Amino acid sequence: MRAIAIERFGGPNELKAMDLPRPRADRGEVLLRVVSAGVNPVDAMICAGGFDGLMPHDFPLIPGWDVAGSVEELGEGVSSVRKGDRVWALARKASIQWGCYAEYVAVPESSLAPMPAKLLFEEAAAMPLAGLTAYQCLSAMGGIGGGSRVLIHGAGGGVGHLAVQLARHAGAAVYATTGSDKLDFVFGLGAAGVIDYSREDFREAMGRLCPEGVDLVVDLVGGDVTAHSLEVLREDGRLISTVEEPDAEAAHKRGVRTRFLWAEADGEQLTHLAQLVDEKVLRPHVEKIYSLNDAAEAHRRVREGHTRGKLVLNL
């Protein structure tokens, strides 16, 4: 099968077109014919060796965890889908090797769901990892509801722009940080207040916008942003980071709770997200669509860290 893969860790130039064996659907798995694959920052991190020692891997290594496509083959015991069904999935496995930058990928049945009827494949491929991450951040540690106050860091990116929409749908007042080039974009998603991090310290801005403190901070940035986010939480507020483990001792001193979140594949949650898309509550934004052979260019773009929404590869 046609695929883009690496034979050693490195930068985007290590991504090469290869002809590799077509995977099989083992028991409990579904073989998908890939139509589109999402491009995530984690893909570039994996190719650079950032997960070496954290997750097992083998070469040649095909990156990619986001997929939208059609069911090609059913493994033993699979009953929830049929050949030809349009599905999407977070195709992460315990070992990294056979990803979605290829004509075919095998995924666990529990990790996929029917695609939203109102999305193109290119749009659907932008959603699984980012959508599940956003959903799980907002539902963790008690979740949010009407009247909640939420601050989302990195609100113009893949996870962030979906988190803004989901939080607004839950009835929360949403505040957001982003770059100057995405201010109008994030306002358009429904944020009540948007802070240009390049011009203003978000702590000072939140002191003006929400002096009583927020109930939840979703940190998609890391570093000093994680540490300083403790200062804008109300008592017993929550900080959830997808980038690093927050300082538990500092959080305890301020009377707030923290968690590092690693998104899990979940077909039932993808089904719920599909319903929200079809109800016009949620919509992924795709900044650019690349051909599979231009995967290296897509990685260069995603490594810059300024993508508005998501990048996608089309096969």
pLDDT tens track for 121-151 = 999 999 999 999 999 999 999 999 999 999 9
pLDDT tens per residue across span 253-267: 999 999 999 999 999
Q: Please give the mean pLDDT across all residues of the chain.
A: 97
Question: What is the CATH architecture of 131-260?
Answer: 3-Layer(aba) Sandwich (3.40)
- In this prediction, residue 306 carries a pLDDT of 87
Backbone dihedral angles phi then psi of residue 172, each to the nearest 5 degrees: -85, 155
Please provide residue 114's backbone torsions phi and psi, each rounded to the nearest 5 degrees.
-60, 140
Q: Which of 136, 129, 138 is nearest to 157 (CA)?
A: 129
C-alpha neighbours within 13 Å on the C-beta side of residue 99: 29
Percent of the chain clearing pLDDT 90 (strictly above): 98
Position 28 confidence tier, pLDDT thresholds 50, 70, 90: very high
Averaged pLDDT for residues 38-63: 96
The answer to whether residue 20 scores a pLDDT higher than 90 is yes
Q: How confident is the model at residue 152 (pLDDT cuts 50, 70, 90)?
A: very high
Task: Summarize the confidence of residues 4-17 as an average pLDDT.
Answer: 98
- The CATH class given to the 2-127+284-314 domain equals alpha beta
Domain limits, the chain:
2-127+284-314, 131-260
* Reported confidence tier of residue 305, pLDDT bands at 50, 70, 90: confident
User: Helix H segments across the chain?
Assistant: 41-47, 121-124, 128-139, 158-169, 183-188, 202-209, 224-229, 248-254, 267-278, 295-304
pTM attached to this predicted model: 0.97
Q: How far is CA 187 from CA 184, 191, 232, in A?
A: 5, 5, 21
Q: How confident is the model at residue 5 (pLDDT cuts 50, 70, 90)?
A: very high
Query: What's the distance, Cα to Cα, between the start and end of the chain in Å?
Result: 12
pLDDT above 90 (res 162): yes
